[in-house]
């Protein structure tokens, strides 16, 4: 598995600390080289999860390698909108830009910085193509393009991301903390936020109301 291709994330609202590689090694634990690569999967929090950060969440996994896992929560909006974000990073949006889109809480790591999931196409200075349908960009040029009305066709902007050190997520899955399923870009980009958890569950043929804390992982 390869090292992270991403550079430093762009500045977003909040105190500006020093940017670091999102997948910098945070643990000396070693991963099994034969372990499942969960990139382009949804992590779906089990209904029994009481964690105040991840309870009820759906996470899109952008990268999974020897340094750990990087993902973005896709169903927890903040009270910020694109308009607020543009104001704080001193960008003036074009008249045809939708400034009412909510900014997601992407996770607790680097929650003073911005990250963008989007459809691939235009090249940005610090970007990772996850699949033909999804890319992940940490450089501010993507927002400059959005403000100019020339951004990606579909996107999700978050503050912060979710990160796990090597072996940590696998352990949580083994303890039935998460279900996993191949991601659907329609859920990621098009579905109303409040419907994403149920829709992700239904990719597995599961009704969340029927799922008990004893259920295993996918």
Q: Classify residue 29: in a domain, yes or no.
A: no
Global pTM exceeds 0.85: no
* 210 assigned to some structural domain: no
Question: Considering all CA atoms of the chain, what is the largest pairwise distance in Å, rounded to the nearest integer?
Answer: 51
Quick one: which H or E segment has residue 80? strand 77-81
What tens-digit pLDDT sequence spans the chain (218 residues)? 444 444 444 444 332 223 344 433 332 233 344 457 999 999 999 988 889 999 999 999 999 999 999 999 999 999 999 999 999 999 999 998 999 999 999 999 998 889 999 999 888 999 999 999 999 999 999 999 999 999 999 999 999 999 999 999 999 999 999 999 999 999 999 999 999 999 999 999 988 777 654 444 44
DSSP letters spanning 174-215: HTT-EEEEE--HHHHHTS-GGGHHHHHHHTTT--GGG--TT-
CATH number at residue 60: 3.40.1740.10
If one counts the domains in the chain, the total is: 1
CB 103 within 8 A of CB 77: yes
CA distance 115 to 117: 7
Q: How far apart are CA 193 and CA 189, in angstroms?
A: 9
In terms of residue numbers, what domain contains 56?
10-14+36-205
């Amino acid at each position: 598995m390869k090292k992270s291709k991403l550079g430093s994330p762009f500045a977003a609202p909040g105190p500006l600390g020093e940017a670091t590689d999102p997948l910098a090694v945070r643990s000396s634990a070693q991963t099994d080289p034969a372990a499942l690569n969960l990139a382009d999967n949804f992590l779906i929090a089990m209904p029994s999860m009481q964690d105040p950060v991840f309870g009820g969440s759906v996470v899109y996994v952008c990268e999974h390698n020897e340094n750990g896992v990087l993902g973005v929560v896709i169903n927890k909006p903040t009270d910020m909108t694109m308009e607020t974000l543009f104001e704080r990073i001193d960008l003036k949006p074009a008249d045809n830009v939708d400034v009412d889109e909510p900014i997601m809480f992407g996770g607790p790591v680097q929650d003073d910085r911005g990250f963008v999931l989007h459809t691939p196409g235009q090249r940005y200075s610090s970007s990772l193509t996850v699949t033909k349908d999804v890319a992940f960009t940490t450089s501010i040029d993507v927002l400059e393009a959005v403000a100019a009305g020339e951004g990606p066709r579909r996107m999700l902007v978050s503050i912060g991301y979710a990160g796990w050190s090597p072996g940590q997520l696998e352990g949580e899955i083994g303890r039935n903390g998460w279900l996993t399923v191949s991601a659907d870009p329609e859920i990621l980009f098009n579905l109303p936020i409040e419907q994403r958890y149920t829709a992700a569950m239904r990719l597995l043929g599961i009704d969340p109301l029927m799922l008990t804390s004893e259920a295993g992982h996918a």
